[in-house]
Amino acid sequence: MKTTIAILLMISAMNLFANNPFKGERALVKSEFVYKAEDVPFPSCHASTIAETSDGLVAAWFGGQYEKHPEVGIWFSRFVNGKWTTPVEVADGVQHSGLRHPTWNPVLFDYGDELFLFYKDGPNPRDWWGQLIISPDNGKTWSRRLRLPEEIFGPIKNKPEMLPNGELICPTSTEHDGWQVHMEFTSDRGKTWERTEPINDGTEIAAIQPSILKHPGGKLQILCRSKNKRIMSAWSTDNGRTWSKLETIDLPNPNSGTDAVTLKDGSHVLVYNHIDPDEVWGNRNILNVAVSSDGLNWQAAVLLENDPDPDGEYSYPAVIQTEDGMVHVTYTWNRKLIKHVVLDPSKFELKPMQNVKWPAM
């Protein structure tokens, strides 16, 4: 009898431990929505992007009836006087009076004197094409859309990076011949482009949506969403022209978008959905922040969302570090809103992960 009671108490304690995950709340500075549902004409949103300009933060995402609906457009907001402005539609997929395609995956990049907004037009990710609009005044006004050259898509989900040689490297991928990762380069603000061959075969190793990390000595690393149950990584020592083979790192991936950034102190921040590694597709009802010093060994930092409802969705994060050192994250909140979170990296409390599991308190 005593043995049975002891076992029951042990199981109860284990369940309590499992249901009390580490949250890292000390680092959380702010959590807010970019807009209210009643302030916009669309019920669904996804795939946000965030950047810092000389006037402050800006954010964009796609919004409409639902993903793939022809009326989905690119919406944009600026952070002014401590609050986000009412979103405005800055791009759509209208081709002519009788044809309109959905838009997809905006990505912002600030050149200093011009703000670039890359996005995609097209019926689906296998047949879309790259578009670009440019703002000379930090998002107050925008140019007409510019279609990118054939086979050039711009950054597919995550932000580009400026290389020491002045080139802009855009992490991109395609889905029409399996899931394949590429890199694109422009040295003249999008007037001309170069494109690498895919670094994976798209079937045995299927990955998309890379983000770029910077390491000492000019070494670059990418982290990718994959169909291989793990986040995947590859390395380059020649400014992204060639890459090592994509290999899994010890973090689970529910086939959902991730984003990462290298901080000023050289550490790396990754935002992703940390799910049961045994799941094939997995739910997106949990959103996590991990930190690494080498891009391979990651520690738990902050639990942004942890919804017991398996249908909850907190996904497609974008992450940057601003000039004041703060880390900013935007992400899809239940496909209804875009959430903005500010983190103080000096207050990260890092916890090790054992057996690919998010740690408990």
User: Residue 329 falls within a domain, yes or no?
Assistant: yes
Q: What's the residue count for the chain?
A: 361
> In this predicted model, what pLDDT tens digit does every residue of 190-236 receive, in sequence order?
999 999 999 999 999 999 999 999 999 999 999 999 988 899 999 99
CATH of the domain at 179: 2.120.10.10
Query: Which residue range forms the structural domain that includes residue 223?
Result: 22-347
Q: Residue 15's pLDDT is what?
A: 40
User: Residue 72 falls within a domain, yes or no?
Assistant: yes
Give 3-state DSSP helix, strand, coil % of the chain, rounded to 5. Answer: 10, 45, 45
Backbone angles phi, psi at 6, to 5 degrees: -65, -40
Distance separating alpha carbons of residues 231 and 47, to the nearest angstrom: 19
User: Residue 156 falls within a domain, yes or no?
Assistant: yes
Q: What percent of the chain has pLDDT over 70?
A: 93
Q: Residue 14's pLDDT is what?
A: 39
Sign of CA dihedral 167, 168, 170, 171: positive
> In this predicted model, what pLDDT tens digit does every residue of 32-77 receive, in sequence order?
999 999 999 999 999 999 999 999 999 999 999 999 999 999 999 9
User: Residue 11 falls within a domain, yes or no?
Assistant: no
Q: Residue 228's pLDDT is what?
A: 85
User: Residue 90 falls within a domain, yes or no?
Assistant: yes
Measuring CA to CA, how many Å separate 338 from each of 26, 46, 64, 253, 265? 23, 8, 13, 22, 28
Q: Residue 8's pLDDT is what?
A: 38
Q: Residue 16's pLDDT is what?
A: 35
Number of domains composing the chain: 1
User: Residue 331 falls within a domain, yes or no?
Assistant: yes
Backbone angles phi, psi at 297, to 5 degrees: -105, 115
Backbone angles phi, psi at 7, to 5 degrees: -65, -45
Q: Tokens 């529910």, residue?
A: 254
User: Residue 5 falls within a domain, yes or no?
Assistant: no
H helix runs in 67-169, sequence order: none
> In this predicted model, what pLDDT tens digit does every residue of 137-157 receive, in sequence order?
999 999 999 999 999 999 999
338 CB-contact burial (10 Å; exposed 0-12 / middle 13-18 / buried 19+):
buried
User: Residue 353 falls within a domain, yes or no?
Assistant: no
